[in-house]
Amino acid sequence: MLIGYMRVSKTDGSQTTDLQRDALVSAGVGNSYIYEDFCSGSLDDRPSLDAALKALREGDTLVVWKLDRLGRSLRHLINTMHDLTHRGIGLKVLAGQGASIDTTTPTGKLVFGIFAALAEFERELIAERTRAGLAAARARGRKGGAPFKMTPAKLRRAMAAMGKPETVVGKLCRELGITRQTLYRHVDPKGELRNDGKLLLERTGKKSK
């Protein structure tokens, strides 16, 4: 099944939905399977995107007009795409710079792999700078590092909430005091633990022993 998502933002001049909707319908998406948000790209709260992600099932394909309609940042975009791939769901981009992405095809998977590699490279650079900063701070006799925003208690609340269809992800993130990106690094849309979530529980479990 094809499920479409479109986002309309007054800040970037895309106030009208006709262009996006026409493109999605032309790609084979039924009108009743198109989810729509009215917000800027930087806002965490996107109820229709959350609903679309929850509606998708293995074998389905999420279709968007342009890549910037889906992700707020490269990292958020890659996390979303990894989640879709892990769940056996395809992603197809119809126009713009990401128009080569169709993860249901070998070429599209290759393009996605390049995007993912760039995001991983960015993460490694940030981690390297962080480690260097902490090492310099320790050399000067100071302890560094911010506390983890996700805690075991928050993680368990997130796991329980994400398993419920009525959960609004943006509201949950505000209640927990975390970003949507942090949430999806630790749990998937069904409330199942991801690697970061497993590592957090393992790390805190070892400390409590």
| Domain segments of the chain as ranges | 2-111, 152-208
Residue 186 pLDDT > 90: yes
The owner of tokens 């968007």 is: 64
In this prediction, residue 80 has a pLDDT band, given cuts at 50, 70 and 90, of confident
Strand order in the sheet with 2-8: 34-38, 2-8, 61-64, 90-93
Q: What single-letter DSSP state applies at residue 83?
A: H
pTM of the model: 0.55
Residue 17 pLDDT > 60: yes
2-111 is classed in which CATH architecture?
3-Layer(aba) Sandwich (3.40)
pLDDT of 18 reads 80
Count other Cβ atoms within 10 Å, centred on residue 130: 13
Pairing of strands 2-8, 34-38: parallel
User: Mean pLDDT over all residues of the chain?
Assistant: 79
pLDDT of 161 reads 93
Residue 121 pLDDT > 60: no
CA 5/CA 9 separation, integer angstroms:
13
| Of residues 189, 177, 188, the one with CA closest to residue 150 | 177
Residue 62 pLDDT > 90: yes
Instruction: Out of 9, 14, 40, 73, pick the active-site residue.
Output: 9
Q: Quick one: average pLDDT of 80-85?
A: 83
76, 88 Cβ separation under 8 angstroms: no
| 9 catalytically annotated | yes
Residue 116 pLDDT > 70: no
Residue 76 pLDDT > 80: no
pLDDT of 147 reads 47
pLDDT of 25 reads 94
CA 51/CA 120 separation, integer angstroms:
28
